[in-house]
Amino acid sequence: MPVLVHIGYHKAASTWLQRELFVDRTGYRWLGKRPRSHPVRRIVRERPLEFDPADVRSAFEPLIADAEQPGLVPVVSFERLSGHPFSGGFDIDLIGERLAQVFPDARVLIVVREQRAMILSTYKQYVQVGGAAPLQHFLEPPVGRSLRVPLFDWRYFEYDHLVRHYRRLFGPEHVLTLPFELFVRDGRAFVQRIAELGGRPIPDDVLETLRYRRRSNRARSALTIAAVRSLNRFSEHTELNPAPVAEWRSAARLSEWLQRTEVLDHRLTNGLEARSQEHLRGAVDEWAGDRYAASNSRLADLIDADLAALGWDVAT
Amino acid sequence: MGVLIHIGYHKTGTNWLQRRFFSDPATGYRWLGKRPGSHPVRRFVRDRPLEFDPASVWAALDPMIAEAEEAGLVPVLSLERLSGSALSGGYDSARIADRLHQVFPEGRILAVVREQRSMVVSTYKGYVQQGGAAPLDHFLEGRRSATFRVPGFDSAYLEYDRLIAHYRNLFGAENVLALPFDRFVEDGRRFVERIAAFAGRPVPSDVLDALPYGHRENIRTTSTLTLSLVRRLNQLAPPTDVNPAPLLESPSVARLADRLVRRDPLRRKSAGADERLRRAVDGWAGDRFAASNARLSALLGIDLGQYGWTVEV
């Protein structure tokens, strides 16, 4: 039974798919991503000259066998497999090649999302996990001539390059690319398309009971994000903020508390929140302009989808 | 005539080779340069993963190669970044090797390596000079997420045997020459002769005699004490790729930091700090490179232990 590999993207229903769809009662079983030593992470983390596909495959074998024994389709699902936006997808090609070495017969699912919404959500996530740069610097990071450290790169969201790469590696008929907006509009149709790719249709009664509206990882408000970003300058260092001015545990705790309680999202601050959110959205819109229109047009042709009808910017 | 490709590493006499050896027509070699920022050699590094087009890069380099060959000189592609960057753990070292092989399948590869402890001291100092603000321990062992979001320093980058073996696989063992930097320090003339013999164009004796082996480019390193001040100032200077979110973004602070680096006012008082830095790096390194160095010694047929490298016996 071919493995279904879902590579992300981030911020495109990955958690929903992992927790709501790839569960035993649908006929699919997610092979997980925890603990840190899980073999799916080896596809990302192992150094270029040390990756051993046979060894990784053998680490997966017991998990795959566990799924296949009760007749379930094994699903490798990990949003990091599509690269990481914080570092411009520096390893997207390599990960695709590694997946093809480990799972040559796989069916591949890619979920893409309109860029402006995607980038706004990505920036909020960046701050939530420790980033301290303001939006403008996040979007246009300082780049040395020799590109020493890969940071955000807008071209990461030109999805057509990656889709084409996977089609070359696995064959066009084995790669399904779906827009996230289809999930929002018609979750059932979205799931049915995935089940067609996986080769295991989901019974109607199961389709009816799936919780299409359930959302996890809800983005924090713009106001909370602004406060957390300021605190990140004084919190423990991370790979996103390697040298904060100070490392105060109290700042880290306050940041966690603000995010957990969302105390800043009060009806008294509604107006301020709306203005902050509008400001962020407007800044991303203006920055994006029509930079993705040509790529989106190529993607629409490639996957035969009317992306413009879903609110994407598509060159005509 | 084959192209000689010199991939670095950083901090191994690269500038000397580029300016004194490969840029002197009397030696019989011509460096194809690396400036401006749009120079095609940078495309091996900068082109995005799925957008590298070997034919187009070849076409961009071809006129430069033809010009060198017309003048009867061996064309030399030399850019230290081709071996990766220590600041991001050499995340693209292997990819760059593959790209070089796609464009120059007949190329000859020169790599110069350097003992890791002195390399790390030099790399960390360079990091601060370029805007870095993390203390040494965070630089060496920074916190990493489970998803490897952004690559940082990684000691495995300095396990040279892996990359050298990869180049030998790609280009053939006889087309890859790796030399320890110590050989250059020990006997510059012999070092140059060895490279020239490998590249197939010996350098005339009188030219070898005249090369300024004692001249060091970028040799003056700023003292540790001055750099500890600069590191703190970097928190207030404009962002760089190694410090993307400083507290302030003051160009005047950046100018002050730059002036400090150049004038090094604390040099005379820095002996203790220099020693502490060296000791900290020694303690961190321990014997973590010993096994790799033993493999490298065997690969190169050179006893690296004689130059003070830690080598597993």
For chain A, positions 167-226, list CB contacts with chain B under 8 A. none
**Rounded to an integer, what distance in angstroms lies between the CA atom of residue B121 and that of residue A229?**
32
β B29-31/B4-6 pair status: unpaired
CATH superfamily of A4-215+291-310: P-loop containing nucleotide triphosphate hydrolases (3.40.50.300)
Contacts of A142 in chain B (CB under 8 A): 238-241, 244
User: Does A247 lie at the interface with B, CB-CB under 8 angstroms?
Assistant: no
Q: Does A131 touch chain B (CB under 8 A)?
A: yes
Residue A245 contacts B where some CB pair is shorter than 8 Å = yes
B300: nearest Cα among B185, B139, B182? B182
Give the CA distances from residue B27 to residues A190, A242, B72, in Å, rounded to whole numbers and listed in that order: 66, 45, 11
Count of Cβ atoms closer than 10 Å to residue A154 Cβ: 16
Shortest CA distance from B134: residue in chain A: A243
Chain A closest CA to B54's CA: distance in Å? Answer: 16
At residue A139, does pLDDT exceed 70?
Answer: yes
Q: Which residues pair with B76 in a beta bridge?
A: B4, B31
pLDDT of residue B1: 63
Kindly state the average pLDDT of the residues A170-174: 98
From the list A93, A129, A147, the residue facing B46 with the nearest CB is A147
Residue B115 and residue B184 in contact, taking contact as beta carbons nearer than 8 Å: no
- What is the average pLDDT score of chain A? 95
Rounded distance between C-alpha atoms, residue A85 and residue A155, angstroms: 10
Please name the residues between 192 and 221 in chain B that touch chain A, using a CB distance below 8 Å. none
B85 Cβ under 8 Å from any chain A Cβ = yes
Nearest CB neighbour to B85, from listed A44, A91, A146:
A146
Average pLDDT over residues A96-121: 98
A233 touching B, CB under 8 A? yes
Query: Quick check: B311 and B290 in contact, CB under 8 A?
Result: yes
pLDDT tens per residue across span A235-280: 999 999 999 999 999 999 999 999 999 888 888 888 888 999 999 9
pLDDT at position A265 is 84
User: What is the per-residue DSSP string for B223-282?
Assistant: PHHHHHHHHHHGGGSPPBTTBSS-S---HHHHHHHHHHHHH-TTGGG-HHHHHHHHHHHH
Closest of A218, A225, A214, A213 to residue A281, by C-alpha: A225
- The chain A residue lying nearest B232, using CA atoms, is A245
Which of B42, B91, B138 comes nearest A242 by C-beta?
B138
Give the model's pLDDT for residue A288.
98
And the tokens for B206?
């009188």
**Nearest by Cα to A222 from A178, A182, A179, A269:** A269
Q: Indicate yes or no: CB of A90 within 8 angstroms of CB of B151.
A: yes
Q: Tokens 């045997």 identify what position?
A: B161
- Judge: A93–B46 Cβ closer than 8 Å, yes or no: no
Residues B132 and B241: their CA atoms lie apart, in Å, by: 9
What is the rounded distance in angstroms from the CA atom of residue A44 to the CA atom of residue A110?
Answer: 17
- Give the distance from residue A295's alpha carbon to the nearest chain B alpha carbon, in angstroms: 13
Q: Is B28 left (phi over 0), alpha (psi -120 to 50) or beta?
A: left
Residue B182 pLDDT: 97
Residue reference for tokens 């300016």: B19
C-alpha to C-alpha distance for A230 and A127, rounded to whole angstroms: 9
In the predicted structure, residue A114 carries a pLDDT above the cut 70: yes
A227 band by pLDDT with thresholds 50, 70 and 90: very high
Q: How many residues does chain B have?
A: 313
Residues 278-307, chain B: which have Cβ within 8 Å of A? none
Contact B104, B144 (CB under 8 A): no
For residue A178, what pLDDT band results from cuts at 50, 70 and 90?
very high
Closest CB to B244 among A90, A94, A142: A142
Q: What is the interface pTM, i.e. ipTM, of the complex?
A: 0.93
Q: Where are the alpha helices (DSSP H) in chain A?
A: 14-16, 39-45, 53-68, 92-102, 115-128, 135-139, 159-170, 180-185, 187-198, 204-209, 222-232, 249-261, 270-288, 293-303
Q: How far is B82 from chain A (nearest CA, A)?
A: 10
CB-based contact B244 A137, cutoff 8 Å: yes
Nearest chain A CA: its distance from B66 CA (Å): 26
Which residue from A36, A148, A162 is facing B87, i.e. has the nearest CB?
Answer: A148
- Listed in order, the ranges of chain A carrying CATH 3.40.50.300 are 4-215+291-310
- For residue A172, pLDDT over 90 is answered with yes
Cβ–Cβ gap B147/A50 under 8 Å: no
Q: Give the closest of A131, A150, A233 to B247, CB-based.
A: A233
Q: Per the structure block, which two tokens stand in for A119?
A: 């980038």
Check pLDDT > 80 for residue A297.
yes
What is the SS3 assignment for A282? helix
Query: Which of B 112-171 lie inside 8 A of A, CB atoms?
Result: 130, 132-135, 138-139, 142-152, 154, 156, 162-163, 165-166
Please name the residue of chain A whose CA is at the shortest distance from the CA of residue B166.
Answer: A49
pLDDT in tens, A45-93: 999 889 999 999 999 999 999 999 999 999 999 999 999 999 999 999 9
Distance in angstroms (rounded) separating the CA atoms of residues A237 and B22: 43
CA-to-CA distance for A163 and A143, rounded, in angstroms?
A: 27
A48, A155, A239 ranked by CB distance to B48: nearest: A155
Q: What is the pLDDT of residue B217?
A: 66
B49 and A89: CB-CB below 8 Å? yes
Q: What's the token pair of residue A262?
A: 């969302």
Q: Do A151 and B238 touch (CB under 8 A)?
A: no
Print pLDDT tens along chain B (313 aa).
689 999 999 999 999 999 999 999 999 999 999 999 899 999 999 999 999 999 999 999 999 999 999 999 999 999 999 999 999 999 999 999 999 999 999 999 999 999 999 999 999 999 999 999 999 999 999 777 888 899 999 999 999 999 999 999 999 999 999 999 999 999 999 999 999 999 999 999 999 999 999 887 666 689 999 999 999 999 999 999 999 999 989 999 999 999 999 999 999 999 999 999 999 999 999 999 999 999 999 999 999 999 999 999 8
Residue in A16, A3, A26, A23 with CA at minimum distance from that of residue A195 = A26
Q: Could you tell me how far CA B77 lies from the centroid of its own chain?
A: 14
Which of A36, A49, A84, A236 best probes binding to B when mutated, by most B CB atoms within 10 angstroms?
A49
Residue A147 pLDDT level (bands cut at 50, 70, 90) = confident
Residue B243 distance to chain A (closest CA, Å): 7
Q: CB under 8 Å to B202, separation ≥6 — which residues? A: B28, B193, B196
| Residue A84 touches chain B, beta carbons under 8 Å | yes
Contact between B87 and A153 using a beta-carbon 8 Å cutoff: no
Which of A41, A49, A142 faces B239 most closely, judged by CB atoms?
A142
CA separation, residue A297 to residues A205, A291, A303 (Å): 37, 11, 10
Q: What is the mean pLDDT of residues A126-144?
A: 94
Which residues on A lie below 8 Å from B244 (Cβ)?
133, 137, 141-142, 151, 240-241
SS3 percent helix, strand, coil of chain A, rounded to 5, is: 55, 5, 40
Residue-level pLDDT at A146:
80
Q: From CA B278, how far away is CA B281, in angstroms rounded?
A: 5
